[in-house]
Amino acid sequence: MKTNRKEIKETDFSKFTSEELTDAFVFPADQVLNAKEKKEEEDFWASRRKQFENRTYHQKMYSRLLQLKFQLEDYIDSSQYLETFSFGFFLNEYVSRQEKKDKDFAVEVDVKPAVLSQYINNHRKPTDEFIIRLELHSNGLIPAIHWFKVIQKNKEHEIMTNQKLREEESKHVKNRLGFVY
Amino acid sequence: MYVLNKIIGEKKAATITKIDAAEISQINKTRRFDFNWNKEKDFHVYKLTAEDKEEPIGLLSIEDRPQDYALEIRLLAVSKENVGKSQEYSRIAGCLIAFACREAFKKGFGGFVCLKPKTKLEKHYIQQYGLQSTKMYLITEGENSLKLIQEYYEDK
């Protein structure tokens, strides 16, 4: 079989069972395809594209929400703070990825549309009850703890960078400790 | 996400990070992995490291195929000391495949990941990872990809 890759073959793969190889490798698929195989490959990708484009409304929505869940997880697990990625941003994504109007979603989680709008625009701190409702609404797909961690991440940034509050609180602090070596 | 240290029977937290061309060259030079990883520099290459261990114990190369809404696993290898019965760590390949599935969800591909198997290994990938067979590729998507993520990526 012709190949277009020079392998550094140091391991004697024949010494291992198929299970052991499956547990250790995905081998490079580097054989040069003949015309029949090329056609099969093209057909495979054409079929994949068609299948993707013909997904149902629910499949598309589920896929969009899973995408959001994993993006949210990556953000809360990272040490980076991004102003854009606020609670309101993720909440807005959660609603819009379901192609719902804000006022309809507000009914579904039993808050006033004005309150939902304040959450989305980061003008109101979400209550524990509200983030529990979000978890229940997503049927556990996005747990309340994820929402809480987004809020907490924002709070951590705020507490670390709020100079104005430090200046204001300064007048309430006396007899500050001084350390000298 | 964890790998299992089979010698001491302990779970070790695992981390997967993307590596650049310079690091690929560096790892390739060590010859701790089979195959020529320098050939993968045009693709997305990731390393898996275990807690308390600086050197990677797994490598993964993925091709992003946005036009086909898919990720293709081009190459995956565990470090040589982890191949076969005498392996120190298990679950490395599973973690890397689950990682690819998660990336495929993040990209909006519905968790669609495929690979071209060696014929004799096909049925073992199907048994071990629940992959589905098509003529040329093995694929995972949707529920099976979520299952792999839960089993290998989210399980702590």
* Interface contacts A/B by beta carbons within 8 Å: 116
Residue that the structure tokens 């560096």 belong to = B26
Closest-CA distance of chain B to residue A16, Å? 6
| pLDDT at residue B125, as a whole number | 94
On the question of pLDDT at A9 being above 60, the answer is: no
On the question of pLDDT at A176 being above 60, the answer is: yes
CATH H-level, domain A57-166: superfamily: lambda repressor-like DNA-binding domains (1.10.260.40)
pLDDT tens-digit series, residues A102-160: 999 999 999 999 999 999 999 999 999 999 999 999 999 999 999 999 999 999 999 99
Q: Which residues contact B90 (CB under 8 A, 6 or more apart)?
A: A23, B3, B4, B6, B82
Rg of chain B over all Cα atoms, to the nearest angstrom: 15
Q: What are residue B11's DSSP bridge partners?
A: B4
| pLDDT at residue B128, as a whole number | 94
| pLDDT at residue A33, as a whole number | 86
Dihedral pair phi/psi, residue A83, rounded to 5°? -55, -35
Could you tell me if B134 and A43 are in contact, meaning their C-beta atoms sit under 8 angstroms apart? no
| pLDDT at residue A5, as a whole number | 53
DSSP code per residue over A13-68: GGGS-HHHHHTTEE----BPP-HHHHHHHHHHHHHHHHHHHT--HHHHHHHHHHHH
Closest-CA distance of chain B to residue A81, Å? 19
| pLDDT at residue A181, as a whole number | 82
Residues of chain B neighbouring A28 (CB-CB closer than 8 A): 35, 39, 74-75
Q: DSSP assignment, residue A104?
A: H
| pLDDT at residue B156, as a whole number | 66
**CB-based contact, B68 to chain A, within 8 Å:** yes
Could you tell me if B36 and B74 are in contact, meaning their C-beta atoms sit under 8 angstroms apart? no
CATH-assigned architecture of domain B2-154: 3-Layer(aba) Sandwich (3.40)
Could you tell me if B84 and A20 are in contact, meaning their C-beta atoms sit under 8 angstroms apart? yes
Dihedral pair phi/psi, residue A119, rounded to 5°? -65, -45
Q: Which of A10, A19, A21 sits opposite B31 (nearest CB)?
A: A10
| pLDDT at residue A8, as a whole number | 47
Residues of chain A neighbouring B69 (CB-CB closer than 8 A): 48-49, 52
Residues of chain A neighbouring B68 (CB-CB closer than 8 A): 45, 48-49
The overall average pLDDT reported for chain B is 95
> Cα separation of B120 and B154, whole Å?
30
> Cα separation of A170 and A50, whole Å?
64
On the question of pLDDT at A1 being above 50, the answer is: no
Q: How confident is the model at residue A99 (pLDDT cuts 50, 70, 90)?
A: very high
Q: How much of chain B, in percent, has pLDDT values that exceed 70?
A: 99
Query: Which chain A residues touch B if contact means CB-CB below 8 Å?
Result: 5-11, 15-16, 18-29, 37, 40-41, 44-45, 48-49, 52, 55, 59, 63-64, 66-67, 70-71, 74
Every domain of chain A and the residues it spans: 20-53, 57-166
pLDDT tens-digit series, residues B30-51: 999 999 999 999 999 999 999 9
Could you tell me if B18 and B45 are in contact, meaning their C-beta atoms sit under 8 angstroms apart? yes
Closest-CA distance of chain A to residue B67, Å? 8
Q: Which residues contact B22 (CB under 8 A, 6 or more apart)?
A: none
Q: How much of chain B, in percent, has pLDDT values that exceed 90?
A: 90
On the question of pLDDT at B62 being above 50, the answer is: yes
Q: What is the model's pTM?
A: 0.89
Q: How much of chain A, in percent, has pLDDT values that exceed 90?
A: 84
Record: contact B136-A44, CB cut-off 8 A = yes
Q: Which of residues B120 and A1 earns the better pLDDT score?
A: B120
Closest-CA distance of chain B to residue A174, Å? 45
Every domain of chain B and the residues it spans: 2-154
User: Residue A77: left (phi > 0), alpha (psi -120 to 50), or beta?
Assistant: alpha
The average pLDDT across A83-89 equals 96
The average pLDDT across B74-93 equals 94
